[in-house]
A and B are shown apart, each in its own frame.
Chain A
């Protein structure tokens, strides 16, 4: 709903919005941010937080670029290995959380430092430059006019994650654990396994986002991932995810990503004073969530309330 209004406003003000190139740019930005947001959303689903999404994504990104540059491994293999690293990093998070019983917040904060530290230790803050042309091409070319190739993995993953949460036993177990882990345990669900798997999925998605960004930037930047944290939470929360867990919506998260992307692009298109960009961004986020909230209240009013007692 908010998306449609935003689109209309932007396109009225700036006809350039509907150009093919612009659509491509928007889709590219959305593709990567969706992966980041889903990576966090999976963990929100089990009622935890993963502060290390950016660190895992960045680590996978430089591993991917580094393996291609230093060891000369072909791109698909390197991508596979980088994803494996992401999954491994995620599983470390999960195992530590389950084993120590310490809140995910603290554990992922610690692993954030570890993964980011490894990243710096390996790269010494220097980017990897020799990204094979085909990788760059994947990140920057299109098919059917404005559709970027990078949209394909993103879309596939959105469909898979959505399917997982709605139809697969694993997804339902994830949500059950997030809503009420005690009840899930009593229902015979192995809560520890589910939490570890959730973190593996999160690691997988973060790594995929990191690799996609390398393809997009054609650079193995060590700073990839530094700015993900807030975005990763903002999109699911704008999409209505409950931070306490048990309720996430893939589709709504995608809309959350789209809203943020539209706002960002709108700020460029409207040539907002660079000194005011942050203010406008904040105000627009507030307006978007405020509108959603207002709409919810309106619909709640028209429905008869539930009674108990």
Chain B
């Protein structure tokens, strides 16, 4: 587990700013997933730093929209009054979240976005399409000149981010005449099919492939392992997220780099914002939100690029970003 220590000075400032009765903040991801491992310390740190009554991390038993909805609403019954949510579906989660906002509990979306219109405050996340675009650019850069073929391993097709990521990759490739997408293999966000399909691909077309871009957690892990097994380091790969397997592969040089999402920072800041909103603050009308395919109220938490140069201090990369965002967050986005 990564330790993030916010400076004492910062927390002292914030503690005075917080209202006496802290919010009971619930952090709810879409389902059990290693990605959200950093949400729990994020919530706890926010609880400690901002004097929340609670910063509880609650996970639906499965990746099912209905289960998440049921969990969220039952938390309202249990008295949670502010929420940080990774929506199970950017469209389908809206009615439930609107309902929750209707009960007077603010909702901040983290690590993903909800499609407009909705009553949630805003979302703080990585822009999936842009991240995939930049990742692909890095990959193309690392492959060097000459005609190249790349393969894209993506997650569930039913998840809208997957479509955005496919678009992002296509856009980056379109900017380079010499590069072509050889194949897109999707729906492999579970270990068994990922293993089966990626192995099959590598066996059949590995020799013709120059680069791999992966935009899902599991495909990244499986592809990183496949490259380690191959051992030649001929095929370049840029992945996503920070699974230890991937981090190690970057250290060992099998993987060029990975696009991070900073879940710790996202949950930490979102919990802070949810608490402030509950205590009477409102989102500024003229807040400088950035553009996002889904929503007009998007705060880019940044997508740092993890590579051999900075892989040793990933925690510091995340923390620096978190600190920077938090330091100006309230005055930039909130009216208190």
Q: Which residues of A contact B (CB under 8 A)?
A: 14, 16-17, 19, 21-22, 24-26, 28-29, 32, 117, 120, 124-127, 129, 140, 213, 216-219, 221-224, 226-228, 261, 264-265, 268-269, 271, 274-275, 277-278
Given contacts A17-B204, A227-B193, contact A126 B199 (CB under 8 A): no
Q: Are A274 and B184 in contact (CB under 8 A)?
A: yes
Q: Are A125 and B36 in contact (CB under 8 A)?
A: yes
Q: Are A129 and B245 in contact (CB under 8 A)?
A: yes
- List residues 153-199 of chain B with CB under 8 A from any CB of chain A: 154, 157, 183-187, 190-193, 195-197, 199
Of B61, B187, B204, the residue contacting A274 (CB under 8 A) is B187
Residues of A within 8 A of B222 (CB): 217
| Nearest Cβ on chain B to A258's Cβ, whole angstroms | 13
Question: Does B221 sit at the interface, judged by CB under 8 A?
Answer: yes
Given contacts A120-B32, A140-B229, A268-B197, contact A275 B202 (CB under 8 A): no
| Nearest Cβ on chain A to B29's Cβ, whole angstroms | 9
A265 to B204, CA, bound (A): 9
A223 to B190, CA, bound (A): 7
Of B34, B157, B186, B195, the residue contacting A126 (CB under 8 A) is B34
Residues of B within 8 A of A29 (CB): 195-196, 199-200
A222 to B183, CA, bound (A): 29
In this complex, which of B61, B183, B193, B195 has the most chain A Cβ atoms within 10 angstroms of its Cβ? B195
Q: Are B32 and A217 in contact (CB under 8 A)?
A: no
13 A-B pairs (CB sep. < 8 Å):
A21-B203, A29-B195, A32-B192, A126-B37, A218-B225, A219-B245, A223-B191, A224-B191, A226-B190, A268-B201, A274-B157, A274-B184, A277-B186
Of B192, B204, B225, B229, the residue contacting A16 (CB under 8 A) is B204
Main secondary structure of the interface of B (DSSP, over half): helix
Output the nearest chain A residue to B186 by Cβ-Cβ distance: A274
Given contacts A120-B32, A129-B245, contact A224 B206 (CB under 8 A): no
Question: Does B59 sit at the interface, judged by CB under 8 A?
Answer: yes
Question: Does B33 sit at the interface, judged by CB under 8 A?
Answer: yes
A127 to B206, CA, bound (A): 28
Output the nearest chain A residue to B154 by Cβ-Cβ distance: A274
Residues of A within 8 A of B34 (CB): 125-127
Q: Are A274 and B200 in contact (CB under 8 A)?
A: no
Question: Does B280 sit at the interface, judged by CB under 8 A?
Answer: no
A24 to B200, CA, bound (A): 9
Q: Are A213 and B192 in contact (CB under 8 A)?
A: yes
Of A22, A127, A216, the residue contacting B200 (CB under 8 A) is A22
Q: Are A125 and B32 in contact (CB under 8 A)?
A: yes
Question: Does B329 sit at the interface, judged by CB under 8 A?
Answer: no
| Nearest Cβ on chain A to B204's Cβ, whole angstroms | 4
Q: Are B32 and A222 in contact (CB under 8 A)?
A: yes
A227 to B218, CA, bound (A): 14
Question: Does B244 sit at the interface, judged by CB under 8 A?
Answer: yes
| Nearest Cβ on chain A to B223's Cβ, whole angstroms | 12
A124 to B203, CA, bound (A): 34
Q: Are B187 and A277 in contact (CB under 8 A)?
A: yes
Residues of B within 8 A of A117 (CB): 61
Residues of A within 8 A of B202 (CB): 21, 25
Q: Are A264 and B200 in contact (CB under 8 A)?
A: yes
A125 to B202, CA, bound (A): 28
A223 to B199, CA, bound (A): 19
Given contacts A25-B203, A264-B197, contact A227 B192 (CB under 8 A): yes
Q: Are A268 and B200 in contact (CB under 8 A)?
A: yes
Q: Are A224 and B192 in contact (CB under 8 A)?
A: yes
Q: Are B191 and A217 in contact (CB under 8 A)?
A: yes
Given contacts A125-B59, A213-B192, contact A25 B200 (CB under 8 A): yes
Residues of A within 8 A of B225 (CB): 217-218
Residues of B within 8 A of A213 (CB): 191-192, 195
Q: Are A25 and B199 in contact (CB under 8 A)?
A: yes
A17 to B229, CA, bound (A): 20
A224 to B192, CA, bound (A): 7
Q: Are A221 and B191 in contact (CB under 8 A)?
A: yes
| Nearest Cβ on chain A to B257's Cβ, whole angstroms | 20
| Nearest Cβ on chain B to A150's Cβ, whole angstroms | 12
Residues of B within 8 A of A218 (CB): 225, 245
**A-B contacts besides A216-B195, A217-B222, 20 pairs, CB < 8 Å:** A14-B204, A22-B204, A29-B199, A125-B32, A125-B33, A125-B34, A125-B36, A213-B191, A213-B192, A213-B195, A219-B221, A223-B191, A227-B193, A261-B196, A264-B193, A268-B185, A268-B200, A268-B204, A274-B184, A277-B186
Residues of B within 8 A of A129 (CB): 244-245
Q: Are A269 and B204 in contact (CB under 8 A)?
A: yes
| Nearest Cβ on chain A to B99's Cβ, whole angstroms | 26
Output the nearest chain B residue to A146 by Cβ-Cβ distance: B203
Given contacts A126-B37, A217-B225, contact A227 B190 (CB under 8 A): yes
Output the nearest chain A residue to B183 by Cβ-Cβ distance: A271
